[in-house]
Every structure is written in C-alpha cells, then in structure tokens.
C-alpha cells in the first residue's frame, strides 16, 4: 500500500457567531439554555443538556422552514452544503444589475456582506436589517445556486416572501454570518454543515477555505 501526506498550509476563516445563552434570538423564538449534565470534579466527566431553537446564531434554513412540503435538513444531499463561494458587498443596499455583473455560477454559495452584523446584539437589530429584494431572489434561483448566506438575521421580514422564493426554489439560506469582510476579493470554498436533524433548520459551523 502507498500513502502520501501533504503538509500544506490551508487558510480557514470562521464565519460563525458563538452560540451560548447570551446569543440573541429572533423575537418570539425560544431562549437558549445550556445546563450541566455532568461535572468533572463530581462525575469524572463534563456533559451538558442544551435546549436551542433551530434558527439561533449562525444557522441554515431548510425548505421545510417556509414550505409546507419542503425538505428537512436530513433529506438534503451533503454536497449542497459545500460549494464555490461568491462574495458580494451590499453595504449600500442590494442592486440586481450589479449582482448580474458578479461572477455567479451554477452551484455557487453566494454570501452578501451588509455589515449589519455589527449591530447583532442591539435590540433594534431584528427591526433594522435590510431586505433582499424578491427579484434578486428569483435571479439566484434561476442561476441555480446552492445556498444564499448573509450577515443578518434573514433575507426579509414578514410575510417572508423572499424566504419562500429561495427555499421554494431549492436554495438554502444561511443567516447570521460574521467576518465576511475577510472574503472580499478572495477565491474561496464555503463549508456550511448543519447537524443532520429531521427538522426545518439548525445551527451550523460555517467556514470559508481560501484558495
């Protein structure tokens, strides 16, 4: 048998926010609870009981979140959670014509950098984050991208039409990303892997591997 190991430096950027009891939750969602279930000095091990909503922190929306007969996370091929990344700055808003000029390809994971995540812990965060226009959502569905991610709590507000366009078109959504500024002018691959739950969404560790 023949083996070869490569010692090659790989640059990885963590795009996920920490998840703890202080992590903000969407208004009306359940609070996060993390309680000891085993303490090392008493039991010889550490263990925890975690109660967490499926849409807290950096997380992924599956179609079932907004589509009655949509797929749950466990029904989605793992290949859809990994793909070529496409960074788009949107600090001044979203513009369809500008997005059409971006190098978006079929199978990409498109990440929008609005900068609003800097206000993540402010009470007004969930009221102030911008909306991804419906025409842009339709364009991304037509382009057959795998996922759309953003550094805000979602692509829209009630009645969640943009959510439904993306998820109904088979495009997964990544919400509450951070540190997207580090991806500007870079080539990278996105790995956005949620827990394999039979539900509508789940927290995820999302990373970008620079080329």
Relative to beta strand 147-150, strand 172-175 is: parallel
Asked whether the predicted pLDDT for residue 8 surpasses 70, the reply is: no
* pLDDT, tens digit (0-9, with 9 covering 90-100), for 159-194: 999 999 999 999 999 999 999 999 999 999 999 999
**Tens-place pLDDT, residues 199-211:** 999 999 999 999 9
- What is d(CA 32, CA 21) in angstroms, rounded to the nearest whole number? 5
Task: Note the helical H segments in the chain.
Answer: 40-43, 96-100, 125-128, 134-142, 161-168
- Return the bridge partners of 206, or none: 192
pLDDT score of 125:
86
pLDDT of residue 3: 57
Contact yes or no for 178/143 (Cβ under 8 A): no
Domains and CATH numbers, the chain: 12-17+54-210 (3.50.30.50)
- Helices 134-142 and 161-168, axial angle in degrees (round to 10): 0
Contact call for residues 165 and 138 (beta carbons, < 8 A): yes
* Dihedral Cα 90, 107, 208, 119, nearest 10 deg: 30
Residue positions counted in the chain? 211
Model pLDDT for residues 93-136, shown as the tens digit of each residue = 999 999 999 999 999 999 999 999 999 999 888 888 899 999 99
Residue range 18-73, pLDDT digits in tens: 999 999 999 999 999 999 999 999 999 999 999 999 999 999 999 999 999 999 99
The tokens for 171 are 């495009």
Query: How far is residue 155's CA from residue 172's CA, in Å, rounded to a whole number?
Result: 11
- Contact indicator for 36, 47 with CB cutoff of 8 Å: yes
| pLDDT at site 1 | 57
Confirm whether pTM is higher than 0.75: yes
């Amino acid at each position: 048998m023949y083996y070869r190991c490569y010692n090659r430096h790989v640059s990885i950027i963590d795009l996920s926010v920490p998840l703890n009891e202080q992590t903000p939750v969407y208004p009306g969602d359940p609070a996060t609870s993390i309680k000891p279930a085993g303490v090392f000095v008493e039991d010889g091990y550490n263990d925890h009981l975690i109660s967490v909503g499926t849409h807290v922190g950096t997380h992924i929306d599956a179609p079932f979140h907004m589509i009655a007969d949509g797929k749950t996370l466990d029904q989605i091929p793992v290949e859809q959670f990994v793909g070529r990344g496409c960074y788009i700055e949107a600090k001044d808003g979203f513009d369809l014509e500008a997005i059409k000029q971006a190098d978006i390809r079929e199978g990409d994971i498109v990440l929008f950098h609005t900068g609003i995540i800097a206000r993540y812990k402010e009470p007004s965060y969930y009221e102030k984050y911008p909306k991804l226009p419906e025409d842009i959502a339709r364009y991304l569905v037509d382009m057959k991208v795998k996922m759309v991610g953003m550094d805000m709590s979602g692509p829209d507000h009630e009645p969640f039409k943009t959510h439904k366009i993306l998820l109904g078109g088979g495009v997964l959504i990544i919400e509450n990303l951070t540190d997207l500024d580090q991806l500007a002018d870079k080539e990278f691959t996105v790995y956005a892997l949620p827990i394999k739950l039979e539900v509508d969404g789940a927290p995820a560790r999302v990373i970008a591997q620079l080329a």
